[in-house]
Structure 1
């Protein structure tokens, strides 16, 4: 009734174990009443699945809850900020309802849009990127692409599926557009059962075929594996009954683990390969500067290992 600004209201009391109506206003305003409601409403009077799931969640976790999930999370974040001033918290409160709408928000720091965005093979995502990020190259994750082939074509092709996969990746890995299109045409002719799916996939060829994607720098990435790994960790750490605070703590623990792992790698490298820093700073100072500028600490460490190893390679001329 608040959403419609209707005056209809019923107050119920359950103080003595019996439901009692303490006040009732049967005056409807600002919206129309349908006589069919009397017929259909009693028949469909039941809780939705989402509502039942919420009831189960609150029933199971009622002994662990002090206030709302958002209040617990906000309290924990303030405790983190007391320990580390770098924690950023900016609660957003609705000026009308005085309800908490958000805890922290990110604003564009530089205004620079991503040049590349890699997602699964989601057509709705493709349209959103094309509309909102017209200058961003949208690529499909190779792992999700292979899983969709398995799901959509394995039963249709049967014993031909193994040969189809070999031919598909032969076409997909072609570096020439003309060669790719010729090999893809052969796929359509040799595997008619997959023709319908392949024709739809061909419409987005610039997002997954090497003939179109190799022209763009991707750092060697072909899948969203790193993000999927984090998602899998979160899924194993929480369940459908987990609170918002527990989700945040699972993510925080993962970040702390990654940070500790990176610190350990740096510490061990400083002690085992005590001459690495000397090699990097004397032979490749400009390269190291660029690596540290553009790469994350973990990736920078891996690149520096490869650079140091390159100084002991033995070159051999092949006829």
Structure 2
């Protein structure tokens, strides 16, 4: 039939078909311009269905047809339109090849390219093939999601997460729905994210991003940083609540009782400009001056800095890390009207990029290299060797820079008996750098208590006599500096290294640095104390006052370093549950295997040395909620409708405007009095002249 149509210069399409056990028994072929279409629109429309009478009915009878012959039952070889060979050839030349369609599908679904970028790519790869905008746009639209494919978005995501959790129990999934079974919130964590949460949960940044999906659900990201100070995504959640920011603040206080929430300094300043600038008008500048003086003052009117300066935040005062992750995610998205499935795909793509970057860094660190001995600080060779053994390259470089910068300072001993507190009423935190004090000496003494102080040293720059900082040596061989670098960043500052050069009472131990900065799971509790090289000959044997392992040498008495036993138990539960399911499937194959498993479990349960307390019910409520809802019936969130008139629609006029609507002014011919033409174009005038 195709060859007949090609010879007669027209196109045919397949119409009705009848099948019997998968075998076609009847088929109808019609012309491309057959059928009739009646439009219900009031606008001028056009259609290709002009009712061409061409028709061919063929059949392959089942009875009395042993050779499966095909018979033509009816044929009408008439057309009501001219046959044009050039149009058939043109349609064949403009059709995309299968390889071009595959490229368009890849660029649309994976790369999220627009029509301009795809046109340039296709023109460069297929220069001899003509490309027309309408055909390209229609092909692109065929690979984009439709309203029908987005009907069960929430159910697809929920089923996929349940499958992942079924395969590996360390996945964490929490979701909620309303009375109408509509999705209200969804949180999930991959096994890698759960492990990172346990290891790097001492400082977590949270930010909520809006306008990132077609349902208007807010995306809440929990971002941290690893031992190389690289950003890592720890958890993600979709929230339908518009007041998500206050809800997170309230949840932190109720769930994580020992957590201290700190608000971003940049967002606080932006809220001031947004909410107070207009109401205060001329007094706004004076308010800002008083506001920052109150916030940053170190000696009186303590408000913010006196609380936040003692908290470990990795040296951050703003949420720029989570803002960077937000910007990277938005760069991966096509627009803000995407579905939840596409959003989850892009999030996991970003997680894969994060894992690949970690693999590359691990490979780069494993390459054996020889360091230049000129860059090693000759004043702290033993300290540098200890740091190279324990710290990651990033943290090692930061400590080496601190050791190198320590030679530009001078340390002087302060007499404890005749100590005088300086007049520091006007001391204000103006800049967040290493040479700006974050705490006064009076506050430091009150903070560590006077009986715990061994010595106090004042630090000044070599070309100046003004005291910049104070370093207090503690009885437990720890220290605290007014720059608070050891507390806020977990880094031994340059001021303490200068004190090590001035006295043998200042010693270095790897436990001065938090274990989160260590390279791998290393234990530095059994390491010895180290002096500066100039004191190594005076005290060749470095002893410790601690009979057991050296604890974390922190100046805060009630500081607890990374205690997450509850989360560790949840991870252990997930691993045990996964191993138990695999063992159960294997044991059910034979009676002998099942009896061995029962004996092992009974022996383990009857052991008196093992704590019998179990929190399995609590774990089931926290980790798995699959039994509480049927994911296949979970409905999509209600689409978000923004303020104002939707784009592409006309404004609805009021009744008053419709009644008083004026008709469009039309010009009238001065010659004949009719409308629709001018005097110089009047046909009556031209007829009279002729």
Greater per-residue strand proportion: 2
RCO higher in structure (CA 8 A, sep ≥6): 2
Task: Tell me the TM-score normalized by structure 2.
Answer: 0.25
